[in-house]
């Protein structure tokens, strides 16, 4: 059996883009959090304050993603022979947990505000929210493209963090609009909007956590990727059958474990050469694969 000695690489995407966008996201969220909290306090809008709190969570989320990406870029070593790629999944899971925590906090405060009479929000808060929604949606699309390009779970989590912020701002805009249009007696619309936004945040938090937990648990990738690997192995002359194909993901890289059956009369040296050819074929046809472990076995056709 042979194993690819090279450490995990991340050539499938541009990890530098993810790092730069995470840094830009931290700066953007800091500015927006300050603007939203101040506007919410001055304009008597808890939905806007809740939105600002969500932006504070975004700051820490981007910081976690940035740290996870930095760790994931380290080369494999004796302590972590498969590399540090799972740091991305850990970062994504942490971001998901932060979203759930923010949603719980916002929900508690929104319910409290619903039960306490208060002033209607100020009209100027709507202009603040329009700007926030546009900025956040544009940034979500930029980060999402980088996530697709790199295949990074952490960058995708960061993108959905920005989309979550845009949605909470939109919900706040709707709630404040209803409160202003409805007049006296409709002040709580702002707080109901914050509660609705919390539900959306929960949905996004679960959406972020599911793929991250799957990667941490070494969940098998989609069937299409497994088929590509199997076809690549069968394309090598001398391979008579394959079985027990397993794959797992670490960051943007995949690791393959496959049993290859060949002619029983092959010498150990010939079997070793054949396994190297299979490994090369898999890595050429499926660039996402970083490491290949091949078990050579004698071919058995099952005929008595």
Nearest to 33 by CA among 19, 53, 15, 13: 53
Kindly report, residue by residue over 244-298, the tens digit of the pLDDT. 899 988 877 889 999 999 999 999 999 999 999 999 999 998 888 888 999 999 9
**pLDDT for position 257:** 93
Q: What is the pLDDT of residue 7?
A: 40
Is the predicted pLDDT of residue 303 greater than 60, yes or no? Answer: no
Of the pLDDT bands very low, low, confident and very high (cuts 50, 70, 90), residue 8 is: very low
Q: What is the pLDDT of residue 3?
A: 44
Taking the chain, what is the end-to-end CA distance rounded to the nearest angstrom? 27
* Rounded CA separation 61/30 (Å): 12
Stretch 140-158: mean pLDDT, rounded?
80
CA nearest to 39, candidates 49, 50, 28: 49
pLDDT of residue 118: 64
Q: Are 7 and 255 in contact (CB under 8 A)?
A: no
User: Is the confidence at residue 98, as pLDDT, over 90?
Assistant: no
Do 147 and 160 contact (CB within 8 A), yes or no?
no
Report yes or no: 250 and 83 within 8 Å, Cβ to Cβ: yes
Residue 234 pLDDT grade (very low, low, confident, very high; cuts 50, 70, 90): very high
Write down the pLDDT at residue 10: 41
Domains, in order of start, for the chain: 13-216 (1.20.1510.10), 223-298 (3.30.70.1350)
- Do residues 162 and 142 lie in contact, with contact meaning Cβ atoms separated by under 8 Å? no
Question: What is the rounded average pLDDT of the residues 162-189?
Answer: 80
Least confident of 140-144, 167-171, 283-287: 167-171
Sign of the dihedral defined by the CA atoms of residues 49, 51, 57, 62, in that order? negative
**Strand order from edge to edge, sheet including 289-298:** 2-3, 289-298, 253-262, 241-250
Question: What integer pLDDT is reported at residue 269 of this predicted model?
Answer: 93
Question: How many other C-beta atoms can be found within 10 angstroms of the C-beta atom of residue 153?
Answer: 30
pLDDT digits 0-9 by tens, 198-219: 888 888 788 888 888 888 888 8
- Helix (H/G/I), strand (E/B), else coil: 278: helix
Cα 67 to Cα 72, 78, 216, distances in angstroms:
9, 22, 17
pLDDT attached to residue 258: 93
Mean pLDDT of the chain: 81
Question: What is the spatial distance between Cα 204 and Cα 158, in angstroms, rounded to a whole number?
Answer: 11
Crossing angle for the helix pair 189-216 and 153-182, to the nearest 10 degrees: 170
The whole-angstrom separation of Cα 52 and Cα 128 is: 11
How many other CB atoms are there within 10 angstroms of residue 130's CB atom?
13
pLDDT for 302:
54
| Contact partners, residue 269, CB within 8 Å, separation at least 6 | none
Q: What is the pLDDT of residues 48-67, one digit of tens each?
A: 777 777 777 778 877 887 78
Contact 153, 92 (CB under 8 A): yes
Helix H or strand E encompassing 253: strand 253-262
Among 249, 256, 261, smallest CA distance to 227 is for 256
Residue 120 DSSP symbol: P
């Amino acid at each position: 059996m042979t194993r690819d000695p090279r450490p995990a690489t991340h050539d499938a995407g541009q990890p530098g883009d993810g790092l730069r966008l995470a840094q830009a996201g931290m700066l953007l969220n800091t500015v927006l959090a300050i603007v939203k909290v101040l506007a919410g306090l001055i304009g008597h809008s808890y939905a806007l304050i809740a939105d600002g709190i969500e932006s504070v969570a975004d700051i820490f989320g981007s910081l976690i993603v940035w740290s996870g990406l930095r760790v994931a870029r380290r080369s494999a070593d004796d302590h972590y022979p498969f590399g540090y790629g799972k740091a991305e999944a850990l970062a994504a899971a942490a971001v998901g947990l932060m979203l759930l925590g923010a949603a719980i906090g916002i929900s508690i405060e929104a319910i409290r505000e619903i039960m306490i009479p208060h002033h209607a929000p100020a009209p100027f808060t709507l202009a603040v929210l329009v700007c926030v929604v546009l900025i956040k949606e544009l940034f979500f699309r930029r980060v999402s493209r980088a996530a697709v390009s790199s295949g990074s779970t952490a960058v995708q989590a960061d993108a959905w963090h920005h989309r979550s912020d845009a949605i909470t701002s939109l919900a706040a805009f709707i709630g404040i609009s209803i409160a202003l249009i409805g007049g006296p007696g409709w002040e709580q619309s702002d707080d109901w909007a914050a509660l609705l936004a919390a539900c959306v945040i929960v949905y996004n938090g679960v959406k972020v956590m599911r793929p991250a937990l799957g990667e941490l648990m070494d969940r098998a990738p989609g069937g299409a990727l497994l088929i590509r690997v199997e076809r690549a192995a069968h394309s090598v002359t001398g391979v008579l059958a394959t079985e027990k194909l397993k794959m797992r993901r670490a960051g943007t890289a995949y690791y393959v474990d496959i049993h290859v059956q060949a002619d029983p009369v092959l010498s150990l040296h010939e079997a070793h050469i054949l396994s190297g050819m299979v490994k090369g074929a898999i890595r050429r046809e499926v660039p996402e694969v970083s490491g290949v472990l091949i078990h050579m076995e004698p071919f058995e056709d099952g005929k008595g």
